[in-house]
Structure 1
Amino acid sequence: MRRKRFTFALICTLCSSMWLSTVHAEKVSDFEMQTSATESANSTFTVTLKGKDIQDLYAYEAKFNFDPKVLEIVKAETKIKGFSVSPIVKNNEITIAHTKIGNVNGDKGNLDIATITFKAKRAGTTAVKWTALKVLDRNLKDQEFTPNQSSTFTKIFSDIVSHWAKQDIMEMVTKGIVEGMDADSFAPNNNITRAQFAALIARALDLTEGSGSNPFTDVKSGVWYEDTVKKAYAAGIISGLSKTKFAPEKSITREEMTTMLMRAKAYASGVKVESMVSDSTTTFKDDSKISTWAKASVGFALKSGLMKGRTQTTFAPKESATRAESAAVIKRLLNSK
């Protein structure tokens, strides 16, 4: 009974600010945090705390920062014998603690102090930061360390593992510009609509002007893209297929995407579209299929690197743009600002 009471009191002490006689140490290199993976389509990964040349580890408390919107803690475990407290989560901080029981020696040598399993709630890149470590030896002499180490993990969609646009997609997902179909799939080869691509540009450029009237009769009041269309129209980035028709649900073609992209580039650069003149001729075999109204846009986009051919010899102007292509061109747009 006394041992249980002592253990409980020691854990309470570890998990509070009531330290005996804290010795601040700077031997940060004695401790290391390792992650099981930096990138995976699997949602779960582990972070292991390692100690080097430990002399006498009887109890410890470790604290971490994380993003609870992206990660959830599954479990924390240790191979060190004794009693562990279930992980304590408060806002964006996790606290774990463990102590041996009774009159025994602390562990020594190179140790795996603890392993924490996390689960990513959604795709994207996130980090776990080890902010503090408090340790006690068998005589209850304590030390406090500030590891200040971080491990990053990127949860990727299972359908883009070997896709050419994987890095572009994941960077835009992490920035909150594009989203997956669900937590595990992105559908990179699916078409993207005119309204959806306008929404990507609005997010990427953080468009705010959208209070004007809506000239398009097929953009009904209350639909999810109403404000997006207003913003992009007010910024001069989109135009309709006619004065009153935008065709928001129609798959956007590659030449339409290119034209919208060029206007977005002009808006971001604070210049008029007309000033962005470029040779409109291309060397693609299907150059003759590029609409006259899109020639200048395609020429500029190719020269500036915003767009590339679908293959080395074709531009495919009339073919529908894909979700992967849209993520790639938005990334290039942001990098060109």
Structure 2
Amino acid sequence: MVLGKWSKISIILVFLISWIVPTTGWASEALESGTFTMKVSSPIPNKGDTIEVIITGHEMKDVYAFEINMAYDPTRLTFIDAKSDVPGFSVPAIVKQTHIQLAHTKVGQGKGLEGEQTLYKLHFKVIQNGKIELTLNSVRVLDANLVSTTKLMDTRTTLNIHGPYTFDDLDAFDWAIDAIEALAVKGIVNGTGERQFSPDSAVTRADYVVLLMRALGLKGTVGESFEDIDAGVYYAEPVAIARELGLVQGDEGNQFHPQASITREDMMVLTDRALRVSKQLKMDGNESDLADFEDVSSISAYAVNSVATLVKLGLVHGYANGIHPKETTNRAQAAVLIYNILAYLK
């Protein structure tokens, strides 16, 4: 009897450890037994959370051993463990790229599982924001007579992973998160979509004027309009007021080029002018304040004093030993400068 018992277990263990990813070629040798579902503890987890995934069998008939195959996104979830409360023996989980395979068998004489039973509980660490799907691909079962059945399926559960912040796309911009979040709470900056800030997107000349006017609360009368700004656009009035205040100027053709991306040096020039118009800045910087930067010669003559002033005040720090005056300003950089300005004004 003992030899027969272990012979049966050995056969089952061979069944349990003989899979190869992906498992799509099994032949069904018996009627399918029951249905199988997947439930997630939180469909909207936050980055850093641990979630539990429960796989349950329903209306099962004599399920003595079972093998579960599922898929996940390892760029957003880290697999921690998988445990079964069913009495018996579990094969250690096999995790290969996006696939997870689990297997468990009862031990001893008697029939297999009947009715409804939780088969496995899996745990994952949430490591990245975004929308992902967990997929239950298949469940293979073995009855007490060693007859196997394969249940192929495509059961999907969607997770919307949120970070602890207003926006979910700031992971690569940790140096700007505090600034962006603080300005968003105050309504100074807005997102570009649902929980999206698009920090690496370029800032247009018109949008930076709007941002600057809003942050500093600058008011005034509407001045002469530019030829390339239509009266009905959202930035028409702020740009016209900025022109009347002396913040912006057009070219020889009375063009402002509102949709052109603003350069870093022009962002600093407009900021310097705005602080002076609002009478919140009286000191002047000069080229000696830029001695730590290697690309001072690249700064346009009209921008040198403005750049130097903002550096002297600690509002601009540059990066990689340079000011990079001709580079396009992105939304994250603009937000940090505005944040620094408000902190300085306090």
The TM-score with structure 2 as length reference comes to: 0.50
Corresponding residue number in structure 2 for 1:329:
337
Corresponding residue number in structure 2 for 1:125:
none
Report if aligned partners of 1:193, 1:252 keep a CA contact under 8 Å in 2. yes
Q: CA deviation at 1:235?
A: 2.2
Q: What CA distance in whole angstroms lies between the structure 1 residues aligned with 2:332 and 2:191?
A: 11
Q: What CA distance in whole angstroms lies between the structure 2 residues aligned with 1:264 and 1:210?
A: 15
Report if aligned partners of 2:224, 2:243 keep a CA contact under 8 Å in 1. no
1:264 aligns with 2:274: yes
The count of corresponding residues between Structure 1 and Structure 2 is 185
- Within the candidate set 201, 222, 225, 2:235 is matched to 225
1:235 aligns with 2:242: no
Aligned CA RMSD, in angstroms, stands at 2.4
Q: CA deviation at 1:203?
A: 0.8
Note closer, same or farther for the CA distance 1:166–1:199 as it changes in structure 2 (3 Å cut): same
Corresponding residue number in structure 2 for 1:299:
308
Q: CA deviation at 1:270?
A: 5.1
Corresponding residue number in structure 2 for 1:21:
none
Q: Unpaired runs of 5+ in structure 2?
A: 1-41, 49-162
Q: What CA distance in whole angstroms lies between the structure 1 residues aligned with 2:169 and 2:317?
A: 23
Q: CA deviation at 1:184?
A: 1.5
Q: CA deviation at 1:242?
A: 4.0
Corresponding residue number in structure 1 for 2:286:
279
What per-residue deviation string (whole Å, max 9, x for no partner) do you get for residues 166-221 of structure 1?
1100111111011111121111011100000000011112222132322x211122
SS in 1 for 2:335: helix
1:254 aligns with 2:264: yes
What amino acid sits opposite 1:197 in the alignment?
A: Y
Q: What CA distance in whole angstroms lies between the structure 2 residues aligned with 1:196 and 1:41?
A: 31
1:169 aligns with 2:177: no
Q: What CA distance in whole angstroms lies between the structure 2 residues aligned with 1:245 and 1:299?
A: 27
| 297-306 or 278-287: bigger deviation | 278-287
Report if aligned partners of 1:41, 1:184 keep a CA contact under 8 Å in 2. no
Q: List structure 1 runs of 4+ shifted beyond 4 angstroms.
A: 39-42
Q: What CA distance in whole angstroms lies between the structure 2 residues aligned with 1:199 and 1:231?
A: 10
Q: Unpaired runs of 5+ in structure 1?
A: 1-35, 43-152
SS in 1 for 2:195: coil
Q: CA deviation at 1:269?
A: 2.6
Which structure has the greater CA radius of gyration? 2
